Amino acid sequence: MQEAEIKGNVAEGFDEVRSVFKENFKKRGELGASCCAFYKGQKIVDLWGGYSKLEKKENWEEDTIAPVYSTVKGISALTLAHAHSRGLFDYEKKMSIYWPEFSQNGKEDITIKQLMSHQAGLCVIDEPIPFERLGDPDFICKVIEKQKPAWIPGTKHGYHTVSLGWYQNELIRRVDPKKRSLSQYFEEEIAKQLNLDLYIGLPETIPNSRIATIERITFSQILTNLFDIPWAFVLAFRNKKSLTYKSFKNPEILGNPLNYNKRELQIIGIPSTNGFGNARSIAALYSEFAMGGKNLGIDEHTIALLESDAIEPIDGILDQILKVYNNYAYGFSKPHKAFNFGSSKNAYGTPGTGGSFGFADPNLKLGYAYVMNKCGLKLWNDPRELALRQSIYNCIKNNS
């Protein structure tokens, strides 16, 4: 088989990262991917390679973009941080202050901070959402504002798999003077300002040739990676009555990673799951915030909140959906024992289905991202991504 072509550049002293990127194709089954990191505002790693399509007939190019699934949650969280910095809302305030109809069915006291920390108990949506209404924000709003919390808000936390982004979207629509959607706000206030090739819902003008195709997870992959997925999560996911199953399966189309290869889904702006981009743009965005957000005019208080400690619920940090211990704050995952990314607890970011990941490390002033089109099975720390991340930190240490 022809060896995957690797392109891009690394700064002096970071050749190890290129070697690890090549090893991912030779030893860890990589198909196509990009990896990028900015350190103290300077791009130190910008690599891409392999194949963008399953047939291995099209190379992964410099401008190739791919679905990043829940890695987009961090992008949405940074969008809300931008709005917070502009004084459009206060994380400590109740959602119902900005969205009165939200207060139905026991939600009247839920704060934005609780929602963004996955503590609101709004991890499932009971009313079925048909595919043809996914792009109708008014319909989505009416559905989710009636939802009853699955637990007393603030007592537990659990991954708001799809629902979080829709609540965030409606909040932005309510507080933005222009009444834009979250994806529109991100495009106009952040992406254009930083010249990012990054989207929440894919513009129809982007040709299919630029979009990497997600590869199907094979049965042999599952057999050889049986211990990569927590069994408690697997059992809960197979139980159609569980919160875990319901959180991933309404609407049904969003529960299958392969569906994100369909153009009719790609164009819909779903802030929790439907992001598209490359590692370069995601890393550049996190770098901007890791450096203090000066180019976007982000307030110092907002930056301090993003860098603050994880917000632990009263009953502990066992995730009611993923069935693992987890840390969250302000829409991001935060470092913890099982997922100890970054150089300090100030780091923040979000991983996505299959292995993609982006985060900011303010302590080192580092922005990092990895994007791929072959899905792994781990919730985080995919071997390919982890190897790249560790090599970057090794090089920084060795060059200090």
Regarding pTM above 0.85, the answer is yes
pLDDT at 224: 58
Asked, for residue 237, whether it belongs to a domain, the answer is yes
Asked, for residue 22, whether it belongs to a domain, the answer is yes
Q: Which residues neighbour 386 within 8 Å (Cβ) at sequence distance 6 or greater? A: none
Asked, for residue 165, whether it belongs to a domain, the answer is no
Asked, for residue 80, whether it belongs to a domain, the answer is no
pLDDT at 223: 54
pLDDT at 314: 96
Domain that holds residue 367: 6-69+200-295+342-398
Structural domains in the chain (count): 1
Asked, for residue 325, whether it belongs to a domain, the answer is no
* Cβ–Cβ < 8 Å for 221, 28: no
Domain containing 276 — which CATH number? 3.40.710.10
pLDDT at 9: 98
- CA-closest candidate to residue 350, choices 74, 79, 117, 77: 74
Asked, for residue 159, whether it belongs to a domain, the answer is no
Compute, in degrees rounded to 10, the torsion defined by CA atoms 116, 119, 122, 123. Answer: 90
Written as six digits, the tokens of 346 are: 């100030």
Asked, for residue 138, whether it belongs to a domain, the answer is no
Compute, in degrees rounded to 10, the torsion defined by CA atoms 300, 301, 302, 303. Answer: 50
Would you call 245 exposed, middle or buried from its count of C-beta atoms within 10 A (0-12, 13-18, 19+)?
middle
Print pLDDT tens along the chain (400 aa).
467 899 999 999 999 999 999 999 999 999 999 999 999 999 999 999 999 998 878 999 999 999 999 999 999 999 999 999 999 999 999 999 999 999 999 999 999 999 999 999 999 999 999 999 999 999 999 999 999 999 999 999 999 999 999 999 999 999 999 999 999 999 999 999 999 999 999 999 999 999 999 997 765 666 556 567 788 998 998 999 999 999 999 998 998 899 999 999 999 999 999 999 999 999 999 999 999 999 999 999 999 999 999 999 999 999 999 999 999 999 999 999 999 999 999 999 999 999 999 999 999 999 999 999 999 989 999 999 999 999 999 999 999 8
CA 52 to chain centre: 20
Asked, for residue 31, whether it belongs to a domain, the answer is yes
